[in-house]
Structure 1
Amino acid sequence: MRHQRRTLLGAICAAAAAASFSPLVRADSFPSKPIRIIVPLPPGGSNDVLARVLGQKMSETFGQPVIVENKPGAAGNIATDYLVKSEADGYTIAIAPNQTVSVNPVLYPTLPFDVLKDIQGISMLGRVPMVLLVSPNIKAASVSELIALAKASTEELSYASAGSGSPQHMAAEVFKSMTDVNLMHVPYRGTAPAMVDVLAGTVDMMFCPLNSALPHIRSGKLRALGASGQSRIPLLPDVPTVGETVKGFESDIWIGMVAPAGTPPAVVNKLNAELRRALDLPDVRETLAEQGIFAESSTADEFNSLIASDQKRWAAVIQKAHIKPD
């Protein structure tokens, strides 16, 4: 009987020890099966490019397939909801542009998840500058001339965006607030249809992601008045930043990688180390730059802090401008 008790007690202790160390074991052997990267937007854009370029490098390093799965819809909320309901083991991770993790949580009054509680940041991946473009019928040749024109015009100038809460929308609202000009918002379902009407002169201007703007700037069909980030864009060195005229203005698109909350820290660290390694590779940086994406990495904690601080920033903009989701 005593021997049986000892045997049973030993089995219980062994099971408890195995349970307590199971996350460590999984992290040490991670990854032992394919990884999925969820992309909240359709194929072809900056988010998709990042997922596929980095996924290939991750696959080469880990020796496991990395599958990119696009789950567009509801401004990225479908993909975010899918991620937070996935197992927190590092095998399902997601591309996270600032719209999905910093704007949507403060734009939509009810969401089935709380980004700050349900998502774990892995790393920053890159930034996509935007360019303030004006249609051919707008005579302003600089940001200061555009501001003067908007203030002098008897009719509101109009600006296009990819929808309420989109980076283009938020940049324009910050611009309005900082320059005290009136502009009429014309939302579209995506950058492409918005660009069509700016090219046609139906809408006067828009803040546009660099990769979508470049062909029209180079062809001379649209004029670039300013870049939205802190520094000038290397591909457009003669275009000043908006901030050179409007002191303190900054509003570009950043993109990172996230996992479900509860993912073992060792797994997060392993993913972080691989992403940072890949983002430092010259061929990766060159490939991304050609698409208007400028590689930038971070620690997991730094990315979590960025998500939280940006939520506060955009909450103030949304409240002041009375922005509502589409």
Structure 2
Amino acid sequence: MMKRFYKTAVAAAFVGSCCAVPLVHADDYPNKPIRIIVPLPPGGSNDVLARVLGEEMAKTLGQPFVVENKPGAAGNIGTDLVAKSKPDGYTLGIAPNQTVAVNPALYPKLPFDVQKDLAGVGLMATVPMALVVPEKFKANSIEELVAMAKAEPSKLTYASAGAGSPQHMSAEIFQSLTSTQLTHVPYKGSAPALVDVLAGTVDLMFCPINSALPYIQNGRLKALGVTGHRLPYLPSVPAIAEKVPGFESDIWIGLIAPAGTPREIIDKLNGELNRALKVPAVQAKLREQGIEVASSTPAEFDRMMLEDKQRWAEVIKRANIRVD
């Protein structure tokens, strides 16, 4: 009886200690710098979010956030790095819908599984895009652009930041809904793509608003439409869905951690993230970049990643989209 009691007591103590470890860890967290992996090049919306929000979150968590840009393979390299990192809360990742919703439907053999290998911390922001053309381009509206494209199929060209990028996917949806054919000109990033649109070398582009806005305001680009809803700072530019019923394409960006990260740490990070998103100075900095703050719980963000992945899989199959 004493032996049986001893074994039971030891087993209970072991189970109790296992359950207590995450709680103790969460209480101590963080006690060293936290790195944020950005799977895309410096300077874009993902990079801005990591730096602005990391700086604000560090104020209350008491540890610096170190941003590391790990671009390559349409964001898959950096995202895979997060997926394979130790799940202790000290490696986080920026997750645009390109890497966690579009790529899983576009690339059949990814080295990571979003649902199995990653855990959502929370939604951070959305970034509208504008359908832009050079200042001397003949079309001044979506209707005129569609008419031009139908008159001479495949003659008009569009730039993107590469196969599978939000710019590419938006153009594919646009073509599918308007029964038009455009010629894709992929680049290694938004910056060189935008340069050629400004020069008139390429006819049009679905461009993140933070990059396009200065040129729209100075007249070098014409905005024919915007994704999502009308923007307060471009009130005369229609939402594309107003002219192309059913059009839905956007950029959203969230924060992720490796799967297995203790729930208490995920919740702590989510609370700090949502607090940072409400700081007026943070909102002002992001607004200057054309970034609209958004927030969620971890569970809501996990569900968002899954549902958007399913939506993009249907779009990709229906439009027969292939990576170059």
TM range (shorter): over 0.9
How many Å separate the matches in 2 of 1:261 and 1:324?
29
How many Å separate the matches in 1 of 2:263 and 2:154?
55
Q: Structure 1 residues 155, 104: closer, same or farther in 2, change over 3 A?
A: closer
User: For the Cα contact (< 8 Å) 2:135–2:219, is it kept in 1?
Assistant: no
Residue correspondences, number: 324
How many Å separate the matches in 1 of 2:38 and 2:144?
39
Match of 1:258 among 248, 256, 259: 256
How many Å separate the matches in 2 of 1:164 and 1:224?
23
How many Å separate the matches in 2 of 1:305 and 1:13?
35
Match of 2:244 among 226, 246, 256: 246
Deviation by residue 1:169-192 (Cα, 9 ceiling, x = unmatched): 000111111111111111111111
Q: Compute the displacement of 1:234 (Å).
A: 2.1
Q: Compute the displacement of 1:164 (Å).
A: 0.6
How many Å separate the matches in 1 of 2:27 and 2:289?
35
Partner of 1:296: 294
SS of residue matched to 1:207: strand
Q: Compute the displacement of 1:140 (Å).
A: 1.1
User: Hey, which bits of structure 1, 4+ residues long, moved more than 6 A?
Assistant: 2-9
SS of residue matched to 1:160: strand
How many Å separate the matches in 1 of 2:207 and 2:181?
19
SS of residue matched to 1:134: strand
For structure 1, the 5+ residue unaligned runs are: none
The answer to whether the aligner puts 1:123 opposite 2:122 as a matched pair is: yes
Partner of 1:307: 305
Alignment of 1:1-326 (within 5 A): 13-153=12-152, 156-229=155-228, 231-326=229-324
Deviation by residue 1:217-245 (Cα, 9 ceiling, x = unmatched): 1221111000011x112222221111111
How many Å separate the matches in 2 of 1:6 and 1:200?
81
Q: Which moved more, 1:57-66 or 1:7-16?
A: 7-16
Deviation by residue 1:18-61 (Cα, 9 ceiling, x = unmatched): 12211121122222222111111121111011001111111101
SS of residue matched to 1:28: helix
How many Å separate the matches in 1 of 2:308 and 2:13?
46
How many Å separate the matches in 2 of 1:7 and 1:317?
60
User: For the Cα contact (< 8 Å) 1:127–1:254, is it kept in 2?
Assistant: yes
User: For the Cα contact (< 8 Å) 1:164–1:323, is it kept in 2?
Assistant: no
Q: Compute the displacement of 1:325 (Å).
A: 2.6
How many Å separate the matches in 2 of 1:300 and 1:115?
14
How many Å separate the matches in 2 of 1:153 and 1:224?
22
User: For the Cα contact (< 8 Å) 2:83–2:118, is it kept in 1?
Assistant: yes
Q: Compute the displacement of 1:93 (Å).
A: 0.8
For structure 2, the 5+ residue unaligned runs are: none
Give 2:108's aligned amino acid: P
Q: Which moved more, 1:33-42 or 1:289-298?
A: 33-42
